[in-house]
Structure formats: structure tokens, C-alpha cells
């Protein structure tokens, strides 16, 4: 990558239609795992005007109130007011869930991968979370939007919203914030006399209450550009303005475009699905490699074949920041990490109802309890063995 460049990442709030879908899928997964740790779940959700469709394949001995779970999640997100055109208590819910194919099950039951595919993990030294700076700032902005809405700091905000952060890199390192974009749903109370734009007062309040508390002051300068609701207004949002589908925000979910992506989505999938669990393991390994000092950046790719336990390939790329050879790092990974689906589930304790909270604001770089793949407990071991 060039030494000097601009790089942009985006995030979306929990009330964005795609994230509503992700949270419903993972909420259903959690409800099943809470009663049946070995339940098989591949749950997809579609949300649109006045309607939620839940489908996919679920095999479990547990009973879960799907409709009740869906409504509770939508209510918790904040779709409780008629003014935003979509509410938890009035939307229709269509349940079209079947069971997992026995052809797939016979490979998974023996400990094999639930699908083929390639998965990527990444870590770098740009933040204390060992994540790229653009995506971390973008997530923090959307989280701040939700806080300002739920705590009534900005009472006119709605659940839907987006952020985007552009960082200028100099000599390969983040130097300054070039552009900040915040688009947030709101009610009509902050529109100006034309009814086509929010007032300058509201714009300044959003900058003051949302952006200023999040972006480090030393990263801002006179050239930093701020775009707040750049279309003018954002009254009509959520599912009445845009359909949402599970798994459509895979770059938001991972590294903001800084690392490659295998293409598999996460939400609604139980941990036997390696396109989720192996990505978590790859992040865990990459973070430990960087924390150990073996490299300042680490991209790890693993690939699986359906029904087979061991990965068919493993690749380490450190972008020239490695202190020992990438071949040696790969050897250490093979030695100290079990990359079989069963080994991943055991190492990261993945048969728990922990997934709904992963479904908004990113699956990686999280500091909350339960994100076991964010531990750096093997960093010292890797450094010593190297």
C-alpha cells in the first residue's frame, strides 16, 4: 500500500435496516443456544415496510417464541414511536423456518466444517484494540448517536443512522482526520422553515454532542471537513425507506475494508458454521501475533472444505512488518491454535448466547465481556516460542 493516502470506513447504527435484520437473526440464535447449546441455526431476516420475514434452517429440541423474540428486539432497538413509520407492536411477522439438510448434518456431526470457504483475520497497531483506526472511529460515532438518542441528549434523533470517517495516512501511519460524515434519522422538529434541511443549530448540536466527544482532538485540524445529514434531512428512515437483509454489512462487521474478506456473513449462524467461527478464530490469532510483537500487522487467511475438520490452507501476511519469517509465524500458529471447528468452539467458548451484541457496531475490537476472540492470552507464549 502507498505510504501516503486517504482511507475511509463506515459504520451504521443498530436501527439501520440491515442491522435490525442482523440483530433479529442473532437474537433468535441466542434464544436457541440459551436452551439448546447444540442447536443448529442458519437464520435469515428480511425487514421492509411494516413486515419482518424470518427464514432459514434451524434444528433444535428447544421451543422459542420467534414472534415474541422479534418484537422484543425491535422494541429494544427503539422502534416504538409511530412518527418513525415502523414499530415493534404493529409490524407483521412471517415465519418461514425449516430444518437443516441431513446431507450437511452428516458432515458436521463428525466434527467437520459446515461449509467450504475462506476466512480472514486481521490486527494492527493503530489503536489500543489492535484494529484499524477508521473503522473504530466510525463505530464509536454510531454508538454515540444511539447513546444521544436513548439518553435524550438529542431528543429529536431516530434509530436509523450512519457514520463515515476518512483518515489521512502519512508514511503509512494515521496522521489526521480528513472527513467526517454523520447521517442521522430525526423528527421534523429540527427542520428549518423550508422543511428541506435541518437547522444550523441542530447541525452544531450533532457536531458538539456526537462528534466532539469521540474524535481525538489531536487528529482534527482546520482542514477537517464535517458533513452532517448532507442530503439536508433524514426524517423517513428505517425499514419504511430501505429494506434490510441479514449479512449485508460484512465490511462494517469486520475491518472497514482495511483487510480482505472471504465473503461469508456472520449473523444468524451457530458456531459450527466456519464462516463465522473461523473468522473469530482468525481475528484471535492475528491479534495475538501482533500483541506478541512478532509483527505490527497480521493478516491471516484460513480455508475449509465442507465436512472436513482441518483447514485446507493457512496463510500469514504481515505487510513487511514481521520480526520473524511469515513461515515461522504460520508454524507457531499451527502449533498453538486448534483450527478444527470443534477446537475453535472449545477455545473461544462459542456455544453461548452471546451473539446479538455482536450484531451491531462490529464483531471485532470490542472490549465488552463475552468477546473471547479479543483476548491476547497467547501473546507471551508466541513470543517466547519464536
How far, in whole angstroms, is CA 369 from its chain's centroid? 16
How far is it, in rounded angstroms, from Cα 339 to Cα 333?
Answer: 9
Q: What is the pLDDT of residues 296-349, one digit of tens each?
A: 999 999 999 998 999 999 999 999 999 999 999 999 999 999 999 999 999 999
Over residues 200-224, mean pLDDT: 97
**With DSSP H G I counted as helix, E B as strand and the rest as coil, what are the percentages for the chain, rounded to 5?**
35, 25, 40
Query: Per-residue pLDDT for 107 more than 60?
Result: no
DSSP for 141-206, written as a single string: HHHHHHHHHHTTSSTTEEEEEEEEEEEEEETTEEEEEEEEEEEEEE-GGGB-TTSSSB-HHHHHHH
* Percentage of the chain lying above the pLDDT 70 cut: 96
In degrees and rounded to multiples of 5, residue 259 shows phi and psi of -120, 160
User: In 3D, which of 236, 148, 152, 239 has the Cα closest to residue 191?
Assistant: 236
How far is it, in rounded angstroms, from Cα 359 to Cα 253?
Answer: 8
* Residues β-bridged to residue 170: 173
pLDDT at 101: 58
How far is it, in rounded angstroms, from Cα 253 to Cα 344?
Answer: 20
Residue for cell digits 460524515? 181
pLDDT at 113: 81
Query: Per-residue pLDDT for 108 more than 70?
Result: no
Q: 40 and 57 in contact (C-beta within 8 Å)? A: yes
Cβ neighbours of 307 (radius 10 Å): 18
pLDDT at 102: 56
Query: Per-residue pLDDT for 51 more than 80?
Result: yes
Distances (CA, A) of 102 to 41, 57, 273: 13, 11, 15
Say which residue, 106 or 213, is predicted with more confidence.
Answer: 213
pLDDT at 116: 87
How far is it, in rounded angstroms, from Cα 211 to Cα 156?
Answer: 17
Distances (CA, A) of 21 to 42, 187, 237, 241, 340: 13, 23, 15, 15, 29
Residue 47 C-alpha cell reads as 425487514
Using DSSP's 3-state secondary structure scheme, residue 119 falls into: strand
- Look over the chain and give the mean of its residue pLDDT values, rounded to a whole number: 95
Q: 255 and 130 in contact (C-beta within 8 Å)? A: no
Q: What is the pLDDT of residues 250-296, one digit of tens each?
A: 999 999 999 999 999 999 999 999 999 999 999 999 999 999 999 99
DSSP H or E stretch at residue 52? strand 51-59
pLDDT at 83: 86
pLDDT at 109: 60
Q: 15 and 238 in contact (C-beta within 8 Å)? A: yes
Catalytic annotation, residues: 16, 18-19, 44, 57, 162, 234, 242-243, 248-249, 269, 273, 275
Say which residue, 112 or 139, is predicted with more confidence.
Answer: 139
Using DSSP's 3-state secondary structure scheme, residue 135 falls into: helix
* Residues β-bridged to residue 227: 181
Cβ neighbours of 34 (radius 10 Å): 13
Residue 379 C-alpha cell reads as 501473546
Over residues 141-157, mean pLDDT: 97
Q: What is the pLDDT of residues 157-205, one digit of tens each?
A: 999 999 999 999 999 999 999 999 999 999 999 999 999 999 999 999 9
Q: What is the pLDDT of residues 355-376, one digit of tens each?
A: 999 999 999 999 999 999 999 9
pTM over 0.85: yes
Query: Per-residue pLDDT for 23 more than 70?
Result: yes
Using DSSP's 3-state secondary structure scheme, residue 97 falls into: strand
Q: What is the pLDDT of residues 65-105, one digit of tens each?
A: 999 999 999 999 999 988 888 999 999 999 998 875 555 55
Amino acid at each position: 500500500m502507498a505510504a501516503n493516502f486517504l482511507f475511509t470506513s463506515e459504520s451504521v447504527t443498530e436501527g439501520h435496516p440491515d442491522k435490525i435484520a442482523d440483530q433479529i437473526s442473532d437474537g433468535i440464535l441466542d434464544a436457541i443456544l440459551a436452551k439448546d447449546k447444540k442447536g443448529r441455526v442458519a437464520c435469515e431476516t428480511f425487514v421492509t415496510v411494516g413486515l419482518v420475514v424470518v427464514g432459514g434452517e434451524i434444528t433444535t429440541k428447544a421451543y422459542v417464541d420467534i414472534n415474541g423474540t422479534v418484537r422484543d428486539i425491535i422494541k429494544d432497538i427503539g422502534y416504538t414511536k409511530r412518527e418513525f413509520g415502523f414499530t415493534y407492536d404493529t409490524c407483521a411477522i412471517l415465519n418461514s423456518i425449516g430444518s437443516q439438510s441431513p446431507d450437511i448434518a452428516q458432515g458436521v456431526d463428525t466434527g467437520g466444517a459446515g461449509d467450504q470457504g475462506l476466512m480472514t483475520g486481521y490486527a494492527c497497531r493503530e489503536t489500543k484494540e489492535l484494529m484499524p483506526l477508521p473503522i473504530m472511529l466510525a463505530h464509536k460515532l454510531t454508538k454515540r448517536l444511539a447513546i444521544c438518542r436513548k439518553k435524550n441528549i438529542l431528543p429529536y434523533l431516530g434509530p436509523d443512522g450512519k457514520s463515515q470517517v476518512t483518515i489521512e495516512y502519512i508514511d503509512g501511519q494515521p496522521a489526521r482526520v480528513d472527513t467526517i460524515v454523520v447521517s442521522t434519522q430525526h423528527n421534523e422538529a429540527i427542520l428549518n422553515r423550508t422543511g428541506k434541511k435541518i437547522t444550523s443549530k441542530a447541525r452544531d448540536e450533532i457536531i458538539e454532542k456526537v462528534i466532539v466527544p469521540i474524535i481525538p482532538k489531536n487528529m482534527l485540524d482546520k482542514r477537517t471537513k464535517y458533513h452532517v445529514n448532507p442530503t439536508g434531512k433524514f426524517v423517513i428512515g428505517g425499514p419504511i425507506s430501505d429494506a434490510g437483509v441479514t449479512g449485508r454489512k460484512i465490511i462494517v462487521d469486520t475491518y472497514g475494508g482495511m483487510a480482505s474478506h472471504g465473503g461469508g456473513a456472520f449473523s444468524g449462524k451457530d458456531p459450527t458454521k466456519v464462516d463465522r467461527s473461523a473468522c473469530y478464530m482468525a481475528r484471535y490469532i492475528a491479534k495475538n501475533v501482533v500483541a506478541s510483537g512478532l509483527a505490527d500487522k497480521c493478516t491471516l487467511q484460513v480455508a475449509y472444505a465442507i465436512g472436513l475438520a482441518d483447514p485446507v490452507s493457512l496463510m500469514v501476511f504481515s505487510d513487511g512488518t514481521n520480526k520473524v519469517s511469515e513461515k515461522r509465524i504460520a508454524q507457531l500458529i499451527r502449533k498453538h491454535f486448534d483450527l478444527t471447528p470443534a477446537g475453535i468452539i472449545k477455545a473461544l467458548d462459542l456455544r453461548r448466547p452471546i451473539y446479538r451484541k455482536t450484531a451491531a457496531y462490529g464483531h471485532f475490537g470490542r472490549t465488552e465481556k463475552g468477546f473471547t476472540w479479543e483476548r491476547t492470552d497467547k501473546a507471551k507464549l508466541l513470543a517466547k516460542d519464536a
